[in-house]
Structure 1
Amino acid sequence: MADQVAGHSTTDYLQDLLLDTDGVEEFLTEFARFSAFRLFPQSGETLCGITLLRSRRAGTVASSNEAAKKLDELQYLFTEGPCLTACEEQRTVHVADTTTDERWSGYVANAAEHGVRSILAVPFTLEAGARAALNVYSTQPGAFGAEDIATAETFVAQTSRALMLAVRLAQHSESIGNLKTAMQSRTAIDIAIGIIMAQNRCSQTEAFTILKSVSSSRNQKVREIAASIVTSIGQAEPETHFDL
């Protein structure tokens, strides 16, 4: 990573990263790795993760490696900790030493057992409805001094717009995926209703009533029953004709 960022400003690197990566997930992952390298090139291991809080649900959208992801997820298990507090209260949270800090005792103690001695969480400034924080973990106690914290806050402020764009793209992709799934389900249901109408010589309303009845008796979703009906006559699962 060092050869990729040497001689580049943060803005230049992020612009290059947006252009060079193939998707939101890859961009965010490289962003987390860049954060771990760029912010704290110090002794001891530094890990970075990005927590996104939407609709009261927290999730790690990127991490510098698997260990960083596990540390984030451990916090969600305890439903409290420095990163969640940074997201919810929109303020920087610093744990100088996990072996002596008395806040969020359960999580901090477990983080210490995983070899983490210092934690820094800095919130991003995003649009309403979404909150996020950069989570930095170090194996060294007292790893983040006042200058390090100020650097992290400046970095996060500079990169909030890039993360906001990534979140927008992820939400758009998620919406498109949900829409495609819904249309495919609708297509399967329509075809299944047609099959039932032909087999039972009934109306569309009656066919849909039969479909719902089978769904209820088998405790399966209507779209699942519809798909099984379509495949039972030797047809592949239908695809929507709408292109998005």
Structure 2
Amino acid sequence: MADYDTQPGRDAPVDEAMTQERLDADEVDLRDGLAGVSAMVAGALGAGDTLDAVAKFAARAIPNVDGAGIALVEEHAGSGVRSTSATADFVTDIDAVQYDQFHEGPCLTAMESGRPSVSGSLGCDERWPRFGGRVARMGVHSALSLPLVVGDRVIGAINAYARRRAVFADHAVELGSLFAGPAAVAIHNARLLSDARDRTTRLQRALDSRAIIDQAIGIIRSRTGADGDEAFARLVHISQAENVKLHVVSQRLVDEAVRRARIRHQAS
């Protein structure tokens, strides 16, 4: 039996009579989802594309899902949570109710406990009285949130929703948990890759800016006879006086020097 947090005072959802055909079909969907996750890792997708793909694969891998989404812990913003991807508009609406309005719900509970969180009747779920009532009035009654865990750290959650009541029982939780493990690794790796690419881009921009500044210093020295420190001080003065970034001032000076050189060359 799957280990998860279920609705207090209410029996856990019970799987309908599962025929072998249904079990086989669910297993195929899970395998397809896991294969998709593996392909994402091998293909080194960007973070945004990875999250969109994981949400779509989750909606297929977990039985009875009408809409799924991914939420991530904001690593640079305290303990905040943000919705990053959803397969249906109503999931985005639910996320806004959970994270921005009431700050309660199955995703937040799953992230806090590190265990799947299930509800089969959100309107009656006393764990989230404000969230549950609001979402039930939106016509959504079942929820399954699966924490995304890397090592001993929860980095987010997969959130699955259904309009019918009591549709996420042991079978759905088990399949969802099997999917969530590899999905967490794929998302974590995509974020690491994205961060590395961002750092490389910032470093390259810094190197390019430094090269332009050095060229501008050389131009000022050749024109004025100033030493390196004096030439740099002149650039800084222009930058501050015009409230323009140093590399922009330097680029302008270099471009003007190139333009003049071309004019002289054409005239000779």
Check whether TM > 0.5: yes
- 1:151 paired to 2:175: yes
Q: Corresponding residue for 1:216?
A: 240
Post-superposition offset of 1:37: 1.5
- Aligned to 1:121, which of 130, 140, 145? 145
Paired residue type of 2:68:
L
Q: How many percent of aligned residue pairs carry the same amino acid? A: 23
Q: Corresponding residue for 2:160?
A: 136
Post-superposition offset of 1:127: 4.9
For residues 158-199 of structure 1, the C-alpha deviation after alignment (integer angstroms, 9 at most, x for no partner) is 433333332332232222222223223323333333344445
Q: Equivalents in 2 of 1:126, 1:203: separation in Å?
A: 54
Q: Equivalents in 2 of 1:200, 1:113: separation in Å?
A: 75
Q: Please provide the CA RMSD for this pair.
A: 3.9
- 1:47 paired to 2:71: no
Unaligned residue ranges in structure 1 (runs of 5+):
236-244
Q: Corresponding residue for 1:184?
A: 208
Post-superposition offset of 1:133: 1.5
Paired residue type of 1:15:
S
Unaligned residue ranges in structure 2 (runs of 5+):
1-24, 260-268
Paired residue type of 2:190:
A
Post-superposition offset of 1:141: 4.2
Q: Which is higher, the Rg of structure 1 or of structure 2?
A: 2
Q: Equivalents in 1 of 2:153, 2:217: separation in Å?
A: 40
Post-superposition offset of 1:39: 0.6
Q: Equivalents in 2 of 1:110, 1:195: separation in Å?
A: 66
Contact 2:73 2:156 in 1 (8 A): yes
Post-superposition offset of 1:123: 1.3
- Aligned to 1:165, which of 189, 192, 212? 189
- C-alpha change, 1:218 and 1:198, in structure 2 (3 Å) is same
Contact 2:98 2:131 in 1 (8 A): yes
Q: Corresponding residue for 2:7?
A: none
* Deviates most, 90-99 or 161-170: 90-99
Match of 1:54, SS? coil
Contact 1:95 1:119 in 2 (8 A): yes
- C-alpha change, 1:111 and 1:197, in structure 2 (3 Å) is farther
Q: Corresponding residue for 1:207?
A: 231
Greater relative contact order: 1 or 2 (C-alpha under 8 angstroms, separation 6 or more)?
2
Q: Corresponding residue for 1:77?
A: 100
Contact 1:30 1:64 in 2 (8 A): no
Paired residue type of 1:93:
S
Paired residue type of 1:169:
L
Q: Equivalents in 1 of 2:120, 2:141: separation in Å?
A: 7
